[in-house]
Chains A and B, each alone.
Chain A
């Protein structure tokens, strides 16, 4: 495997959790929910994945529990922000804080360790090899041999684009965000669509979190989502939720990740190379703000 292939594979791995979380957030974005709980959902899912995989000795159980854990947070969000009508921003922050505390506590409680758990009993999510595809020159080693969750993320992107733009559900979802009152008056409760969008977000963040702790690495560490939920939020805002756009932006963040690793081989201290995804987010925000400003100026003129 040559260097370029390695870089691309690294970028794909780095992009996958962000892509899955951002696709989930895209549904809530379209439904008009200001959802910032992706960070917490990823973290909860990452913990539940390790716990399930360790306890039942199977990655399938890990993934299922990850989805369940993330869904619990989605249900709390629905109960608060949709049912009780609390402030979405405050609810999201409260959920993220709660998750950080709960996973730290559970890590200590279930494995008796502080900080990191990386035992041998954690069953990782397997990679898929397609013997025929792997033979193809150049792209073979990229198309084949990726982690199962990478293929799931690709399918999720296609499915999301179809669901949002080509189905009645997608139309209603976008209507809930665009003009909730007119959707309500046409007989479809917009609150129900908000709730559905949060559940979908829970499932996708569950998959993303499971990849984080059972695919990307094979361990759980405190606060291991490390801002990926926030980066996914930035990705959603940058492309206004479009699933294809989200996929491209996530890949760019994946490349920023790899760029960091590359810089490390040029004697740049690892603390600086670790900053690259976050600096990339700032740069992306700059271009987004510039485009917004131009559009505004154009509308004013």
Chain B
């Protein structure tokens, strides 16, 4: 109950602050929000676009949420997404298999690309005790430049004006059913699988224990180091899959700046979802609705679509604050109740003594 209250409260306050910002700059907030949700949820086509745009957000969000909940501070989703996208692109350029084989192979390549990059951070942690927190951040920037080199150098499309690779083989394109891109099914399947893995299997239980109390997990006999590496590889693979689906479902080639749009979204979504898997799906969809609708809003009411970034930032701050504030209020109520109980007990004891 508290979770829903917190989410509803956070979203309302964030939208309200956004409205104040728009008002201060002379825009009509109500018309803007109406346009925003009209263009993200108002029609089957809009909804399909929102769902498709949610795929990288939800997958990188899952990656961050599972990592944070299990202990490893994997902030490397942007880099892992890029390496996954790059791996899928290379596969799509040099392989040509029938579609039923090609698509799973490219998805696996993407996951391997992401896992390679997070695995590098895990290796540095295991071998040299280098904190994965700063290592993953540095690897993000290194992956970014590496991808830029690949698409301006070895894999550049000679016919294009700006750096990009040629399109991948047709058999690697994700099928579309009307407006609905099948990347959406990959996303839903990943969420379901991760929910099951995390809540219904022993491995998931061990990871959760490791995240909540690593000493308890160690004393209980969990292989803490192995779990660390496994979680890093899994979360890297999820972010890599996000990159692969982005290539296979969207522009079908690696364009310059591909990863930049999703840089911090995964971490942000995991934070507001408090690392819950269902919450990640919900906020991923919500963030996608804001981002998708913002472009339509710009057409109708001239509000720059970058307001979506401000709304997201405000939402993160508000939800984090309201979560703590609710905790504090709940704590204070609990303390007061306990104090009242204690006072009642004390009175009862005193009466007993008086009576002898």
Contacts and interface: CB of A to CB of B under 8 A. Distances in A.
Nearest to B131: A285
Contact of B312 (A95, A101, A230, A237): A101
Contacts of A139: none
Contact of A80 (B25, B130, B131, B317): B317
B96 interface: no
Interface string B123-148: 01000111100110110011001101
B44 interface: no
Given A227-B138, A230-B138, A282-B138, A108 B304 contact: yes
Nearest to A36: B133
Contacts of B248: none
Nearest to A102: B310
Contacts of A75: none
B271 A226 contact: no
Interface stretch (A155-163, A164-172, A269-277): A269-277
Given A84-B325, A104-B306, A271 B148 contact: yes
A118 interface: no
A86 B324 contact: yes
Contact size class for B? 35 or more
A98 B153 contact: no
Contacts of A99: 313
Contacts of B135: 282, 285
A286 interface: yes
A286 B146 CA distance: 22
B310 A101 contact: yes
Contacts of B131: 285, 289
B268 interface: yes
A46 to B, nearest CB: 17
Interface in A243-293: 269, 271-272, 274-275, 278-279, 281-282, 285-286, 289-290, 292-293
B309 A102 contact: yes
A201 interface: no
Interface string A201-234: 0000000000000000000000100110010011
Given A86-B321, A86-B324, A285-B135, A292 B306 contact: no
B233 to A, nearest CB: 20
B141 A109 contact: no
Nearest to B264: A97
B324 to A, nearest CB: 4
B129 A292 contact: yes
Interface string A76-102: 100010001111001101111111111
A82 B301 CA distance: 39
Contacts of B316: 94, 97-98
A105 interface: yes
Contacts of A286: 124, 128, 130
Q: Which of A101, A272, A274, A278 has the most chain B CB within a 10 Å cutoff?
A: A101
Contacts of A278: 138, 141-142
A137 to B, nearest CB: 39
B153 A96 contact: no
Nearest to B268: A97
Given A80-B317, A102-B309, A105-B310, A227 B137 contact: yes
Contacts of B310: 98, 101-102, 105
B320 A105 contact: no
A4 to B, nearest CB: 27
A269 B323 CA distance: 47
A285 B138 CA distance: 11
Given A80-B317, A97-B313, A289-B128, A227 B141 contact: yes
Contacts of A101: 306, 308-313
Nearest to A80: B321
Given A101-B309, A101-B313, A292-B129, A271 B141 contact: no
18 contacts: A91-B317, A93-B268, A94-B317, A97-B264, A100-B313, A101-B310, A102-B310, A105-B304, A108-B304, A223-B260, A227-B141, A271-B149, A275-B142, A275-B145, A278-B141, A278-B142, A282-B135, A286-B124
Given A87-B320, A98-B316, 16 more contacts: A80-B320, A84-B321, A86-B321, A86-B324, A94-B271, A94-B316, A96-B264, A97-B313, A97-B316, A98-B313, A101-B312, A104-B306, A109-B306, A227-B137, A272-B145, A274-B145
Query: What are the 7 closest A-B residue pairs judged by CB atoms, nearest first?
Result: A101-B309, A98-B313, A271-B149, A105-B306, A94-B316, A101-B313, A278-B138
